[in-house]
A and B are shown apart, each in its own frame.
Chain A
Amino acid sequence: MKRVVVGLLALGLGLGLAQQAPLKIGVVVSATGPAASLGIPERNTLLLLEEQTNRRGGVAGRPVQFIILDDASDTTQAVRATRRLIQEDQVLAIIGTTTTPASLGMIDPVAEAGVPKISLAANLEIVFPVDEKRRWVFKTPQTEQQMSVPIVRDMQAAGVRTAAYIGFNDAYGEGWARAFEAAAREAGIQVVASERFARTDTSVAGQVLRILARNPDAVLIGGSGTAPVLPQRTLRERGYRGLIYQTHGVANPDFLRVGGELLIGTRLPAGPVLVFDQLPPDFPNRQVATSYVQQYEGRFGIGSYSTFGGHAYDAWAILRPALERALRREQPSNLAAFRRVLRDEIEATRNVVGTHGIFNMSATDHLGLRFNEAAVMVEVVRGSSGRLEWKLIRTFR
């Protein structure tokens, strides 16, 4: 009798464990290093989502486990972390990473092992063109091309005929230079100067002078973080009176803090989540964005949210239903087959409303966003409290 009880207990325990075996998802983000201001909200968001998903009974009754690794904003470390997640942790899918170069580096290891990956970096090249390797790669943030269109439309509406560009002398700045120049040409706006500066520069007087000599109606500054304050300040100090545009890479509170007063009037495209509370009531992702920001601020403090965490939220918003569908077709214990099924299911994503837009993936489009919902134009204004704020000035629906 006793033996039977022990046997039953063991069986019950065994079954319980089998049911409890978590679905492992690998995550690589840049929680330290130069991209940390982007990577930290992404990590925080995923921690929040993991806890929330498991509290609500997991995915199809199974708990999820996010194995989060830091790549220190470094490509080599991102690749190493990816291999570790695939080989040692046997993850079903990977979310990451924060930066474009590292995300490009991760394509080879995930394609070799056949693991679906959702990147959180901007560049179009991560998912385009969809070839043998990029079959396995998806992403959630808007591309420079998609963000260039709103800028050019806003310039047209403001009657801009000539524009100048000054951007980082790295992948970010070059990507924006190409995207913006192409979009401007299409819209009949002449790009009269295209200059570069380094993130670490302490003076951009030479570049700014060249721009001033051409006297453009508007200037676009292609940089991220707080470094784009310098060209803007130099432009204003040297008496430039035209419109100044920035990119969504500056949509963070530090930019407002460092730039201060002189930023008033700056326009930039951004994911709608940045101004979630100013979106028109019928804006399709208003509700998702609002609920995300409330959850995030509830956990990490008022004013702590940024658009970057939204990309991580969207990655899980896509992955979660895809996992549910894949679980109906295949057992996760059959790892290689399950990863293949999961890839197909991510590609079959339709009408997933995220914080940044509505995702409709296809065999040729592994991003699935349209700029109409994924981008809005905002302007830096002095708020009623006397602090600088983002103000929604234009949507493109």
Chain B
Amino acid sequence: MDWTIFSFLAADALQNGTIYALMALSLVLVFAVTRVILVPLGEFLVFAPLTYVWFLPAEVSGLNLKGQIPGTAWLAAAMLLWWAILDRANLQRAFFLLLSALAVVGLAWWGAQGVPLALGWILAVLVVLPIGPASYRLFFEPAKNASVLTYLIIAVGLHFAFAGLGLVFFGPEQFRLPPIWPGQTPIGLVPVNNQAFLVYGFALLAMVGLYLFFTRSIYGKALRACAVNRYGARLSGISPSQAGYVSFGIATLITCISGMLLAPLISPAYFQGFLLGLKGFVAGILGGLISYPLAVVGALLVGAMESWAAFQASAFKDAIVFALLLPILFWRSLRSHEIAEEE
């Protein structure tokens, strides 16, 4: 392996690692606040760009959809409606949710009629975003104070449901999306896709944003309080369900935008989110699912391992990456008990 190959591999590792880092951050955020390991995050990652494909003009996407509204809009609207029915006791909130459901379908209809690319981009994120918090309200909140295992089982079930719906909504094939910033810029020897710089930029923004959010804002401090001690946080007047919505909302937002920025580089299909999410999970585990900086380090490590494995022994690439989990889980189970203590 000479210097050229090393620098190419490093560039690839950085790009993959950044995406895993964004996924890991979202997973850690949700887990810390709600004890949910959000497996369907990978689906959210691909839902947003696939929805965007439905908003693209026919000559860009190569499809003839005739103004068809993407299935994700119906899904989001249905989940919001269900949420409104569950919360009918609180009239004001139920009314707001009802309006949101209508707004989602309205936005999707507007997008499907043909809008400028930038507007369609934002609409796609807005349409998919409610699925996150609504998932918390509909599937996790009813199982209050359940064990981590129960939450995990619900999350896995949700993953299968969303993946199946993804197939129904978008079909089995991949799609091509236009990059926001086309072309390549050489960094040293390596030509880097300009779109990848947007991914890096967003990752930095998300990290700084989360840091400021958790240290400066009252919501962020409340979330941290929940993460440290849920019971104590409740005694101090922090609503755990509100904390759940906010954490799911932020995680979904980060994931959706990551997906939108990544999509032109990978040609997304409904099945591609899961593996990205899983590798983000491996990265999060490196930090015990509680430490943000360790999760980011873990993500870059996973990316590097993956690039190296793809170069050295491509047939065993994923096996090598997931085998990384074993020694870490073993080491952590010897050293720490913070997850077990919660139950």
Task: Say whether A77 faces chain B, with CB atoms less than 8 Å apart.
Answer: no
Q: Within 8 Å CB of B272, what residues of A?
A: 200, 202
A199, A239, A257, most chain B CB atoms within 10 A: A257
Pairwise interchain contact A229-B172, C-beta atoms closer than 8 A = no
Q: Note all chain A residues with C-beta closer than 8 A to B318.
A: 198
Q: Which of B62, B171, B266 contacts A202 (CB 8 A)?
A: B266
- B247-299 residues with Cβ-Cβ distance < 8 A to A are 262, 265-267, 269, 271-272, 274-276
Q: Interface residues of A toward B: which range? A: 35 or more
| Interfacial residues of chain A within 3-26, with CB under 8 A of chain B in the complex | none
Mark the stretch among A31-39, A90-98, A285-293 that contacts chain B: A31-39
Contacts of A197 in B (CB 8 A): 310, 314, 317
Query: Is there an interface contact between A258 and B174, defined as CB atoms closer than 8 Å?
Result: yes
Q: Closest B residue to A177 by CB, please name it.
A: B315
* Contact between A206 and B309, CB atoms less than 8 A apart: yes
Contact check, B176 vs A257: say whether CB atoms are below 8 A apart: yes
Report the bound CA distance from A202 to B273 in whole Å: 9
Q: A226-B269, A230-B266 are in contact. Are A210 and B315 (CB under 8 A)?
A: no
Separation in Å of the A81 CB from the closest CB of chain B? 20
Is residue B5 contacting chain A, with contact meaning CB distance below 8 A?
A: yes
Q: Is the CB of B314 within 8 A of A34?
A: no
In angstroms, Cα B316 to Cα A206, docked, is 12
Q: Mark B31-69, 1 if CB is under 8 A from A, else 0.
A: 000000000000000000000000000000011000000
Contact yes or no, B310 A207, CB < 8 A:
yes
Q: Is the CB of A210 within 8 A of B311?
A: yes
Roughly how many angstroms separate A34 CA and B171 CA in the complex, as a whole number?
A: 9
Dominant SS among interface residues on chain A? mixed
Interface SS of chain B = helix
Decide if A347 is an interface residue (CB 8 Å cutoff): no
B82 CB → nearest A CB, Å: 27
Count class of interface residues, chain B? 35 or more
Q: Which residue of A lies closest to B190 (CB)?
A: A238
Given A197-B314, A226-B173, the answer on whether A209 and B5 have CB atoms closer than 8 Å is yes
Q: Does B8 contact A202, Cβ atoms closer than 8 Å?
A: no
Near B by CB (< 8 A), chain A positions 192-237 give 195-207, 209-210, 213, 225-227, 229-230, 237
A254: Cβ under 8 A from any B Cβ: yes
Contact (Cβ within 8 A) A258 B176: yes
A37 to B269, CA, bound (A): 14
Q: How far is the CA of A205 from the CA of B310 in the complex (A)?
A: 8
Residue of chain B at shortest CB distance from A256: B62
Encoded as 1 (CB less than 8 Å from any A CB) or 0, chain B from 301 to 333 comes to 000001111111011011000000000000000
Using Cβ atoms and an 8 Å threshold, which residues of chain A touch B176? 257-260
What's the minimum C-beta distance from B284 to chain A, rounded to whole angstroms?
18
A165 → chain B closest CB, angstroms: 11
Closest beta carbon of chain B to A43's beta carbon, Å: 15
| Complex contact B16–A203 (CB within 8 A) | yes
Distance between Cα atoms of A239 and B4 in the complex (Å): 13
Residue B74 is within 8 A (CB to CB) of chain A in the complex: no
Q: Which residue of A lies closest to B5 (CB)?
A: A209
Q: Give me the 10 closest cross-chain CB pairs, A-B, nearest first.
A: A206-B310, A205-B12, A206-B311, A257-B62, A202-B266, A196-B315, A226-B174, A254-B173, A195-B314, A207-B314
A/B interface sample: 11 pairs, CB < 8 A: A36-B171, A198-B275, A200-B275, A202-B16, A203-B16, A206-B308, A206-B312, A229-B267, A230-B267, A239-B191, A257-B62
Give 16 A-B pairs besides A169-B315, A206-B309, A207-B311 with Cβ atoms closer than 8 angstroms.
A36-B172, A37-B172, A196-B317, A199-B271, A202-B16, A202-B265, A205-B12, A205-B310, A206-B306, A206-B310, A206-B317, A207-B310, A209-B5, A225-B174, A226-B174, A229-B174
